């Protein structure tokens, strides 16, 4: 079933998505106008992202217990989950050092701008590299009490991700990851297209007025169409929640917590806690 047929049939049920795709198609040649950092900013700071990140940071804060003195954040981005978590600990956290691993220079720079303002006494080591590069260089004495990764492991290609997590086990006591429990659907199938359309309809409904248009044309519709385009190289590799548990246990991690954290347009976010 083609996208157009799916959308035609679904126009009544998916009014926001249908209108946004039509508008996008009408301006498709002027792509630069429609993909902007402003659109991503408006997306991430609004809609369902607000309660999502509140829940994620709240969960992370629960793990900054008095016995956790060193923290490693893998794929920290600009610290959108990390810094609110550090601020949200019920007691002053006991961290003596923070290590950030982030290959995107601009995001790492943003995190490093935030660190002294929000955590002035916490020493920060910033590594502008991938999980693969970082874990390949680990020395026997390198140790962290806790490692965390929020929506970052999905962005790491599979051999690098699993090899990295296997190597990391000798160097951290506990691992906390947050990812999305995506539906188990065959990419490109009718059920997949219908599910995508319903999910993006919901996302569009979480924004109003001019913000909806900005978010739709600059972020959500390009994302939606990209996910339908078989030629688009995949840039993330997600799994249903049980796959994450099975893969980590196969690497020797002992999974002690696996739970949904927050409803979200894309899929429910879940937390997985594992002991080395």
Ligand X SMILES: C[S@@+](CC[C@H](N)C(=O)[O-])C[C@H]1O[C@@H](n2cnc3c(N)ncnc32)[C@H](O)[C@@H]1O
User: Which residues contact ligand X (rule: CB under 6 A)?
Assistant: 74-77, 80-81, 101-104, 107, 130-131, 150-152, 155-156, 160
Nearer to ligand X, 16 or 111 (CB): 111
Closest CA relative to residue 264, chosen from 150, 121, 159: 150
CA distance 97 to 5: 55
CA distance 91 to 110: 26
- We find the least distance from the C-beta atom of residue 125 to ligand X, in angstroms, to be 15
- We find the least distance from the C-beta atom of residue 75 to ligand X, in angstroms, to be 3
Nearer to ligand X, 14 or 73 (CB): 73
Tell me the two tokens of residue 132: 């693969």
- We find the least distance from the C-beta atom of residue 176 to ligand X, in angstroms, to be 12
CB 262 within 8 A of CB 269: yes
Nearer to ligand X, 131 or 215 (CB): 131
CB 205 within 8 A of CB 16: yes
Nearer to ligand X, 193 or 273 (CB): 273
Whose CB is nearest to ligand X? 77
Q: What share of the chain is helix, strand, coil (3-state, %, to 5)?
A: 50, 15, 35
CB 131 within 8 A of CB 101: yes
What is the sign of the dihedral through the CA atoms of 70, 75, 78 and 82?
negative
- We find the least distance from the C-beta atom of residue 247 to ligand X, in angstroms, to be 16
Nearer to ligand X, 21 or 262 (CB): 262
Nearer to ligand X, 82 or 214 (CB): 82
Q: How many CB atoms lie within 10 A of CB 70?
A: 19
229-254 CB burial, b ≥16 within 10 A, e <16: eeeeeeeeebbbbeebbebbeeeebe
- We find the least distance from the C-beta atom of residue 170 to ligand X, in angstroms, to be 19
Nearer to ligand X, 12 or 233 (CB): 233
């Amino acid at each position: 079933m083609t996208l157009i047929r799916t959308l035609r049939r679904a126009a009544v049920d998916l009014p926001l998505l249908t209108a946004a795709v039509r508008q996008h198609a009408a301006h498709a040649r002027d792509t630069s106008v429609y993909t902007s950092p402003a659109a991503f900013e408006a997306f991430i700071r609004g809609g369902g992202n607000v309660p999502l990140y509140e829940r994620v940071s709240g969960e992370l804060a629960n793990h900054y217990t008095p016995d956790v003195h060193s923290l490693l954040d893998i794929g920290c981005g600009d610290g959108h989950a990390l810094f609110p978590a550090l601020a949200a600990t019920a007691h002053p956290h006991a961290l003596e050092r923070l290590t950030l691993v982030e290959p995107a220079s601009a995001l790492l720079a943003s995190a490093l701008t935030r660190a002294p303002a929000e955590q002035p006494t916490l020493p920060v080591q910033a590594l502008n590299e991938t999980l693969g590069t970082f874990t390949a260089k680990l020395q026997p004495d390198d140790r962290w009490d806790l490692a965390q990764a929020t929506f970052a492991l999905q962005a790491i290609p599979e051999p690098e991700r699993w090899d990295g997590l296997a190597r990391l086990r000798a160097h951290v006591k506990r691992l906390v990851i947050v990812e999305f429990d995506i539906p188990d659907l065959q990419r490109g199938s009718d059920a997949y297209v219908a599910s995508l359309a319903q999910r993006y309809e919901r996302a569009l409904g979480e924004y109003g007025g001019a913000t909806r248009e900005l978010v739709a044309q600059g972020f959500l519709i390009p994302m939606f169409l990209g996910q339908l385009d078989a030629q688009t190289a995949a840039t993330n590799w997600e799994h249903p929640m049980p796959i994450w548990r099975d893969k980590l246990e196969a690497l020797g991690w002992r999974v002690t917590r696996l739970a949904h954290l927050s409803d979200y347009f894309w899929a429910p976010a879940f937390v997985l806690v594992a002991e080395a």
